[in-house]
Amino acid sequence: MANVVDIGILVSGSGTNLQSIIDRIEDGRLDARIRVVISNNPKAYALERIKKYGIPGVIVDHRDFESRESFDLKMIDVLRDCQVELVVMAGFMRLLTPVFLKAFPMRIMNIHPALLPSFQGTHAQRRAFEYGVKFSGCTVHFADEGVDTGPVIIQAIVPVLDDDTEETLADRILREEHRIYPQAIQYYAEGRIELVGRKIKIKGIEGVAGGPLHNPPVMGF
Ligand code: GRF
């Protein structure tokens, strides 16, 4: 049995990952309650998305603050006021300071559109495409002081096809983001996430979906 986990979602842009979390809560598959959505960007389309669900949205514009710490302190205030347990960064384009990380230890998730630790940082899909990798994917991880360096919770792999463009690859990755982020939050709600050293174990869940993958295919070896 899962507890319903109170989450706060940090966004900067279109909010498709936010939408996937809302949809899974609405259809009863995700045991979470969105207490607040915080955007550092007043024009983020994510803020439009939440209106019809009555989810509170708060703009905390980083440009109104003198330091990264004071910006983070404001977000901490909002999240605590809203009794948020788990912070979910969904397309949030600001780096968190240690002040924020200490306020929510091992309770801040992020999603990255690459198979970490490959292609950390911005424009991950473009850099994977230009590098010529045969597989890419996405990763949900806990945030730490580094850029996309925290413990990995779940990853999805997608193939890179010969006729892909940067956009078709990014779309294929995004579709998997929309599956693994709700799953990671649900694992949290079910109390399954355990940190062992820097590795995450998902208690009671064994094995992987799918076997070894090859791209291009291995023919008879
Ligand atoms: C996603 O690829 C996410 O991984 C990245 O920002 C992109 C936009 O996400 N961090 P969204 O549509 O705003 O959820």
- Amino acid 80: pLDDT: 98
Atom of ligand 1 nearest to the CA of 18: 14
The end-to-end CA distance of the chain, in Å, is: 45
- Amino acid 122: pLDDT: 94
pLDDT 10s digits, 116-174: 999 999 999 999 999 999 999 999 999 998 899 999 999 999 999 999 999 999 999 99
Domain ranges across the chain = 5-202
Nearest to 188 by CA among 31, 61, 33, 44: 31
What pTM, to 2 d.p., does this model score?
0.96
Under 8 Å between Cβ of 9 and 90: yes
Nearest to 11 by CA among 75, 82, 99: 75
Which segments within 40-188 are labelled E, that is strand? 57-59, 86-89, 108-112, 135-142, 152-159
Name the closest-CA residue to atom 5, ligand 1.
Answer: 91
Task: Say if residue 1's pLDDT is above 80.
Answer: no
Task: Say if residue 207's pLDDT is above 90.
Answer: no
Choose which residue among 12, 22, 122, 174 to substitute to test ligand 1 binding: the one with the highest number of ligand atoms within 8 A of its C-beta.
174
Q: Is the CB of residue 93 below 6 angstroms from any atom belonging to ligand 1? A: no
pLDDT class of 2 with cuts at 50, 70, 90: confident
Tokens of 123: 């424009």
The alpha carbon of 67 and the centre of ligand 1 are apart by a number of angstroms equal to 25
The per-residue pLDDT of the chain, averaged, comes to 96
- Residues 120 and 51: their CA atoms lie apart, in Å, by 32
How far is the CA of 47 from the CAs of 89, 113, 142, in angstroms?
14, 22, 24
pLDDT 10s digits, 70-88: 999 999 999 999 999 999 9
- Amino acid 211: pLDDT: 85
pLDDT class of 186 with cuts at 50, 70, 90: very high
Which helix (H) or strand (E) segment is 124 a member of?
Answer: helix 124-131
Task: Say if residue 61's pLDDT is above 80.
Answer: yes
The alpha carbon of 217 and the centre of ligand 1 are apart by a number of angstroms equal to 30
- Amino acid 201: pLDDT: 96
User: Which homologous superfamily is 5-202 in?
Assistant: Formyl transferase, N-terminal domain (3.40.50.170)
- Amino acid 94: pLDDT: 94
The mean pLDDT of 89-110, rounded to a whole number, is: 96
| Residues whose CB is less than 8 angstroms from the CB of residue 189 and which lie 6 or more positions away in sequence, other chains included | 2, 3, 4, 5, 30, 31, 32
- Amino acid 38: pLDDT: 98
CB-CB neighbours of 190 under 10 Å: 17
Residues making up the chain, counted from first to last: 221
Name the closest-CA residue to atom 2, ligand 1.
Answer: 113
Tokens of 89: 């960064």
Distant-in-sequence contacts of 67-75, Cβ < 8 A, 24+ apart: 68/94, 68/95, 68/97, 69/97, 69/99, 71/40, 72/96, 72/97, 72/99, 72/100, 73/99, 75/10, 75/38, 75/100
Q: Is the CB of residue 174 below 6 angstroms from any atom belonging to ligand 1? A: yes
Is residue 62 annotated as part of the catalytic site, yes or no? no
pLDDT 10s digits, 29-49: 999 999 999 999 999 999 999
